[in-house]
Amino acid sequence: MDALVAQATQKLEALEAALYGLKQVRGRFTTEDGAVSAEVNSDGALVALQLSESVTAMPPAEVGRLILWACRQAAEDAGTQRSKVVATLNESFVPGQQDAPGTLGG
């Protein structure tokens, strides 16, 4: 019974760690020239956008493309981070050497 409780506690802690990790995810990207910087959260929602003074000399369509490019790259970065958190969670649910078949997590 103690082993079962310990396994359940371990799984709960892994879930809580994953939830915390997902809340901490922030994807960031800055264009090579530093004109546009974007930051997105774990859901891919834009939470910060910074434009340098140099964008005032660019055509609006080019600025728009740079903003979209930076947002996409930041979202990709966030997705990579999110995948790592989920992979760590999944690994915690893989039966270990000591887990017997039919036990929690086995």
Per-residue pLDDT of 67-105, as tens digits, reads 999 999 999 999 999 999 999 999 888 876 445 555 444
What's the confidence (pLDDT) of residue 8?
Answer: 84
Residue 26 has pLDDT above 70, yes or no: yes
Going from N- to C-terminal start, the domains of the chain cover: 21-85
Output the DSSP codes for 53-96. Answer: GGGGGS-HHHHHHHHHHHHHHHHHHHHHHHHHHHHHHHHHTS--
β-sheet bridge partners, residue 41: 26
How much is the pLDDT for 4? 83
pLDDT of 33 over the 70 cut: yes
Domain 21-85, CATH number (from 3.30.1310.10, 3.20.20.70, 3.40.50.1820, 3.40.605.10): 3.30.1310.10
- Copy the structure tokens of residue 55: 């964008």
Record the pTM. Answer: 0.76
Q: Residue 61 is encoded by which pair of tokens?
A: 């369509």
- For the chain, the average pLDDT equals 88
Residue 76 in tokens: 């990709």
